[in-house]
Structures are given as structure tokens and as C-alpha cells.
Amino acid sequence: MVPIKYSSVMPYFISKTFLALYLLLLFTFMLSPAAPVAAQTEATKPALNLGLRTHYGFIIPHSEAIREVSYSHPRALELDLSLHFTSEKAWQFLQGYPRLGASFSYINFDNPQVLGDAYTFILYVEPFLSAHRRFSLSFRFGAGLSYQSNVYDSISNPQNQFYSTKVAFPLTANLMGNYKLNDTWMLRAGGTYSHISNGGIRQPNKGINFPMATVGVDYALRPADFPERQQQTYSPQAPERYYLLALLGTGKDGRIDATEKFPLLGLTAYASQRVGRLSALAAGAEWVADYSIKDELDEKKEHTAFGRGALLAGHEFYIGRFRFNQMLGIYVYSPHKARDPVYQRWGLEYHTARGLYFGINLKAHRHVADFLDARVGWRFGAD
């Protein structure tokens, strides 16, 4: 059978589709009235903050292919704007006062000939513990889009195995200590971990991981008070378990010398059991037909099956009608052996009130992204 191939315009279309879906989900999360932290009255208007931070760190040499160009020290300058919510509803949702914000960063990777620079736009959520006190702790998780100035090229830049597309998808997490000087100024210091990759849209795509020390200052354009509130106990609501079925798909590069993308189609199903206000445990299975593997097998004139089946288990984090899930997969059927017998999945989903849900999901073997897929599915059971 002749391999199913996309036309030459499909790689561009698929990458733009993913970028649009990614932004749509993130902006919907920020603005959705279904998110408890979004609803505010005039008396509980959130604080509006402007922040400036500097970062300095190192690149983790997580693969031999990038070890020689990993010995540099990235530096970054970050500007962000955020809303810091103060209402009781926001407190009950996260048991802390959360910030929602957007940041723009310039990153110098200290190796212009190979790595160049990056510009990132991140949307983030950042719960604060003890925001009513002078000293507080906060944890941030964010995702967005980035632009890299000097990507891989087989002739002019073969050493850059980190990323091969100008546009990629950065993830960031940090832990910060915060000290209020007064009602408007706050000093901040801590550590930030960042990752940039294109989700397997094009190879090579080892991804660049760089932890950094972070210091900065925030200025409250609109100050707000943070009342001291007691921790709320979780009260289960029936039903607490639901079941999900989803179709997934994407386009994927084949062999290194292949110039076209190949379809990847799959089916996944799992059960989710809620165990706390924001948490659920999940387990299930998935089946994927990856036509890039078929192309590789056809090139070698091998007649091995190219489908793969796996069992999944992991955790779901509830954010209103959104779910952020982290899964570990174990192959139970893989005639053509994968890079590793296990893999990781990270997903972001939006669940409607009528049981339909949409999402994006990243699959990776350890430090190497395999593919980014879009999915649509149905939920049976709890809302």
C-alpha cells in the first residue's frame, strides 16, 4: 500500500492550526466565566501589577547530541502584567490568592552562532501562599509561544539540535519568595525552570531546558487588600468518577530525509476518579497509528505492523472546566520498538457542560518530544 502523505502545504497548515488552538485554549482559560477566579465584584477588584525580572542560569545537557553546545549561561529580561485576585471565591478555589498574567521575555542563550536568541510570550497562573503577610511564597506555571532567531539548518547550523522551527511552545515553572516593601512595591527572588520545543512538529527537536536564578520587583498599579482566611475542607460531590473517550490526530515528520508530513491517528479512553478539590487520578489506554513509522518501515522494506498500544496512568489538575493532566504510558503492543518502553503525556483540555471536550496533548520519550496532537472527545458521568 502506498504511504498516506500530506501535500507540501500541510506542515505549514498543521503548525498554524496548533498555534491557534494553543492560544485559544490559554486565552479562554484566562477569560472564561466558568473559572471561579474570574468572577469579581466591585468590592473585590483584583490588584493590577507590573513586574520586571532578570534571570541567569545554565542549559541542561540532557542528550549527547547537544552536550557540546550546552556549556553556556542563558540570560533573560522579563516584563509581565498580572491580575492578583482577592475574593473569597478565588481563595476557596485554590486555597490561596491566585494571579493570572502574561509575560514577555527576551532570552540570550550566550551562544549566538549556534543558539541565537529567543522571544517568549507566556500566559500563567500563580497561586500565592500567605499573600496577606509581608513575606509570601508563590508557584507559577505558564505556557505560550516563542520565537527563536537561529534554528537548526543541516548546512549552516547543524549543531543546533535543540529546535528546528522559528516558532515553538515554551513551558515555565518557578518558585518565588516575595517580600512587600509597602502597598505598592514588592521584591521577588527565586528559581525558574524553562523548556522550549516545537512539540515534534519538525525534527531535530531535542528541546532546550534551562533553570535560572530569578530576581525582580513588582509595582502595584492598583493595590488591593488580601484578607486572612481559613483553609476550607474538601466536600465530595457525587458523582466523583467519570469516563472519557477521545479521537486524536496530528501530522508528523517521517525520516530525517523526508520532506513531507504523515498523518497520525489514534483513540484513547480512560477513567478519572476525583480525590480532592483540584485533583483526580486517572487510568486508561490508547491506540495510535503513526504513518511516519510506516514510511520508515517501507523504506527499509520491512513488513512490521506500525500501530502501537499502551496503558496509561496519571493525575488530573482541575481548573474550573479545564483539566491539566500528566500521564505515564507503558507500551503493551509495539512491534516496531519505540525509543523507550515508557513515555510521558501532558495535556490541556476544556470540558463543556454537555460532556464534549477539546484539548491538546504532548507525548515525549524522556527529554525528546514525539508529537503534539489535537483531540476531541466525550465525557460520561460527572461534570
Please give the full DSSP string across 292-334, using - where no structure is assigned. HHHHHHHHTT-----EEEEEEEEEEEEETTEEEEEEEEEEEE-
Amino acid, res. 197: S
Q: In this predicted structure, what is the pLDDT of residue 231?
A: 66
Query: Residue 271 and residue 283: Cα distance in Å, rounded?
Result: 6
**CB atoms inside a 10 Å sphere around CB 183:** 11
| The C-alpha cell that represents 3 in the structure block | 504511504
- Asked whether the beta carbons of 126 and 172 are under 8 A apart, the reply is no
Q: Is the pLDDT of residue 130 over 90?
A: no
Q: What is the pLDDT of residues 68-89, one digit of tens each?
A: 788 889 999 999 999 998 888 7
Q: Is the pLDDT of residue 212 over 90?
A: yes
Q: What is the pLDDT of residues 133-171, one digit of tens each?
A: 999 999 888 889 999 999 998 899 988 888 889 999 898
Q: Which residues of 112-150 are buried (b: 16+ CB within 10 A; e: fewer)?
A: eebbbbbebebbbbbbbeebeeeebbbebebbbbbebeb
| The C-alpha cell that represents 331 in the structure block | 507500551
Q: In this predicted structure, what is the pLDDT of residue 233?
A: 61
Query: Measured in Å, how far apart are the chain's first and last C-alpha atoms?
Result: 44
SS3 267: strand
Q: Distance of alpha carbon 91 from its chain centroid, rounded? A: 24
Greatest CA separation found in the chain?
71
Q: Is the pLDDT of residue 178 over 90?
A: yes
Q: Is the pLDDT of residue 324 over 50?
A: yes
In Å, what is the CA distance from 76 to each residue of 111, 194, 315, 359? 13, 11, 32, 31
For all residues of the chain together, what is the average pLDDT?
A: 82
SS3 59: coil
What the chain holds in terms of domains, given with CATH numbers, is: 47-222 (2.40.160.20), 241-382 (2.40.160)
Of the pLDDT bands very low, low, confident and very high (cuts 50, 70, 90), residue 54 is: very high
The dihedrals phi and psi of 44, each to the nearest 5 degrees, come to: -125, 40
Task: Please spell the DSSP secondary structure of 209-224, one letter per residue.
Answer: EEEEEEEEEEEEEE--
Whether the model clears a pTM of 0.75, i.e. scores above it, the answer is no
The dihedrals phi and psi of 93, each to the nearest 5 degrees, come to: -70, -45
Q: In this predicted structure, what is the pLDDT of residue 44?
A: 67
Query: Residue 135 and residue 140: Cα distance in Å, rounded?
Result: 17
Amino acid, res. 242: Y
Q: In this predicted structure, what is the pLDDT of residue 269?
A: 96
Question: Apex CA 10: angle with CA 9 and CA 13, to 5°?
Answer: 95
Q: In this predicted structure, what is the pLDDT of residue 292?
A: 86
